[in-house]
Amino acid sequence: MTCTTSSPAEDLRERMVQHIKEAGHLRSSRIEQALRTVPRHLFVPAVPAEEAYANKAITIKPGKDRPASCASVPTVVAMMLDQLDAQPGDNILEIGAGTGYNAALLAELVGQEGQVTTIDIHPDVTEHARGALSETGYSQARVLTGDGALGDQEHAPYDKIIVTVGPWDLPPAWFDQLAPGGRLVVPLHWRGQARSVAFVREDGVLRARDSRLCGFIPMIGIVPAGEQHEDIADDVSLYWDSDQKLDLDAIRAAFTQPETTVWSGVTVLANEPFDHIWLRLTATEPGTCRLAVEPAAIEAGVCHPAFAYRTPALVDGDSIAYLAKARPSDGEGERRYELGATGRGPSGEQLAERLCDHIRAWDRDRDAQPVIAAYPASTPDDGLPDGLVIDKQHTQLVLTF
């Protein structure tokens, strides 16, 4: 279907699509056509059209500490649609209605023979989404109010499920309501990071070989939240998962001891991504956590992380090491930066060297990803494959290189 828009809005939409293509997140001509067709500005009428088509998230429902609902960044929208691979005639469930914009894109992709159901826990959000979908000619998209962790059994099974909020666990309903061979795309949290994972249901197990860095509003409702955090120094917080048993007093003591920084010899260009180092750590190191550091601690020299609020760290007993702020590297051509790790505690230097070993392993194959498999929590140990097991309430996540 086609919606009539003004020429300025069409120009802005074209500019948005070109930006997504240049960012490398648009590999499907069908998704490209959907993005060119659906008038994003009509789903966020409270902001100017220029802002509606900018590559940023737009808050539609403020929350206490963070937005309660928003329109996702267009590049992330396209990335997840690429992972989902919606086809004509598919029956799709979306968890997190937002503005209704994503449901409209899905309606374009599945066509008249397909079905789209979107669900959100906030009644005012679903009211907005329902109205925007009706106004733009996508009223066939079903909008429900409820806890997305329960899915929507009435219209199951689903060929595809896409989740646009960030859960720490995978509720059983998503397993049960996904058809065999169906695909679940979800921005899953584990070991302090969030990645959009494209799972496929195979023999009652969800398996994935593709995950991409992303960030989403944490999911609320009955889905469990398993991440914990505590301050380990002034303006320095450590985040870890509930299955990890840490000696926080020992780690706090480590932060009072001298630090040692080890350099890996691996370099990157400015703005070159190296998030797969963190992904590798989650598949090989049980003590992988996350540091969040306030500017005051950085300025005081207490900590110098690679990124202030999202830096991977390794904890082993009474010691900790974290990915350090990269240093400029000598050499000709484009400016490069060397990656390293900083350790504290009795074994801090050895732990920093261990983290550097993982950096060097990443450098040998920067695109390598582990196989990520999600098994029901009731699965016995002898029913799990080899790999690092992360225990959640409903799920056992197994990562294998």
- Measured CA to CA, the distance from residue 4 to residue 191 in angstroms comes to 45
CB atoms under 10 Å from CB of 195, counted, come to 22
Q: Confirm whether 319 is a catalytic residue.
A: no
Q: What angle do the packed helices 101-110 and 74-84 form, to 10 degrees?
A: 30
Residues 6+ apart with CB under 8 A from 190: 168, 241, 282, 390, 392, 397
Q: Are the beta carbons of 182 and 170 closer than 8 angstroms? A: no
This prediction's pTM: 0.92
Grouped pLDDT means (10 residues each) for the chain, 401 residues: 62 96 91 97 94 89 67 92 97 96 98 97 95 96 97 97 94 96 97 96 92 81 84 97 96 96 96 94 97 96 94 98 95 88 98 98 96 96 95 96 90
pLDDT at site 211: 94
CB atoms under 10 Å from CB of 18, counted, come to 11
pLDDT at site 65: 67
pLDDT at site 215: 77
pLDDT at site 120: 95
- Measured CA to CA, the distance from residue 346 to residue 247 in angstroms comes to 14
The C-alpha angle with vertex 21 and arms to 20 and 25, in degrees rounded to 5, equals: 70
pLDDT at site 5: 42
pLDDT at site 299: 95
Catalytic residue among 69, 72, 264, 319: 72
DSSP string, 261-320: EEEEEEEEETT---THHHHHHHHH-TTEEEEEE-HHHHHTTS--BSSSS-EEEEEETTEE
